[in-house]
Amino acid sequence: MQDPDATALKFEPPATAAGDSARPLVAETELPTLDKVSVEASTCTACGLAKARNNVVFGEGDPHSPLVLIGEGPGEQEDLTGRPFVGRAGKLLDRALMDCGLDRSDVYICNILKCRAADWREGRAQNRAPAADEVAACNRWLDPQLRIIAPKVLLCIGGPSASHLIHKNFLITKERGKLFTCRYAEHALATLHPAYVLRQQGRNSDGGYSLLVEDIALAWMKANPLE
């Protein structure tokens, strides 16, 4: 069973300090529309993942929401449907949103990677951690996507996402639920990945489901502060 604190993405997180390294990839006055970025991403061939994909999984939900939920990358069901978080883990995420009085139409959901990272073995595709060059190639879509939406809060789903967007080598079991600064939002925090929760659930344990709900509720509260 995979260690939830293992950092799958091997790359430097986006710069947050002042200076050249903190400058966005595209000037604010040059930001395209989200639809334009989505259409352009749908035909991307910037890395080898394009060769085996069925669909680019750009994102869905309310692009005006103050809260964005972002995972590492699409899996098998997401690749087949072109939608983020639609497998068993996605159904658990939907349930957690519902337990917070929310659904997908209240938030925006996407991934760092827009194509499924997988290796073919014995005629079957098996999910794997994305390579650094694959992540770098996808940043041309992620960067404008998040800057166009401009959420108040980013909720990273799982440690790899947090390691990219919050800080390197993020320890999800120790740092989940804590507020951090972030390049793309006023606040960022991370929560357990629903797939991890499913693996941990048993007769006497919810596998961390209550923590997932708790973190979503906190993220929504911070995204919608009382006036």
Among residues 173, 202, 189, 188, the alpha carbon closest in space to that of 2 is found at 173
Q: Which of 62, 97, 63 is nearest to 191 (CA)?
A: 97
- Crossing angle (nearest 10°) for helices 88-99 and 209-223: 60
pLDDT digits (tens, 9 = 90+) for 45-83: 999 999 999 999 999 999 999 999 999 999 999 999 999
Using only the alpha carbons of the chain, give its radius of gyration. 17
Q: What's the rounded mean pLDDT across residues 40-49? A: 96
Closest among 212, 219, 214 to 91, alpha carbons compared: 212
Nearest to 42 by CA among 134, 130, 127, 141: 141
Answer whether residue 201 shows pLDDT above 90: yes
Q: What pLDDT is stored for residue 214 in this prediction?
A: 98
Q: Buried b vs exposed e over 102-113: b needs ≥16 C-beta within 10 Å?
A: bebebbbbbbbb
- CA-CA distance, 106 to 62, in Å (whole number)? 6
Q: What is the mean pLDDT of residues 28-50?
A: 91
Whole-number mean pLDDT of the chain? 89
Select the more confidently predicted residue: 10 or 219.
219
Q: What is the pLDDT of residue 28?
A: 52
Q: Above pLDDT 90, what percent of the chain? A: 80
Longest Cα–Cα distance in the chain: 57
Higher pLDDT, 27 or 188: 188
Q: What is the mean pLDDT of residues 137-159?
A: 97
pLDDT at 14: 47
pLDDT given for residue 156 in this prediction:
98
Ordered domains of the chain (ranges, CATH): 32-223 (3.40.470.10)
Top-confidence residue, 119 or 78: 78
Tell me what pLDDT residue 121 has: 82
Shortest CA distance to 69 belongs to which of 52, 92, 50? 92
C-alpha torsion 54→56→57→58, nearest 10 = -170
Q: What is the pLDDT of residues 123-132, one digit of tens each?
A: 788 899 999 9
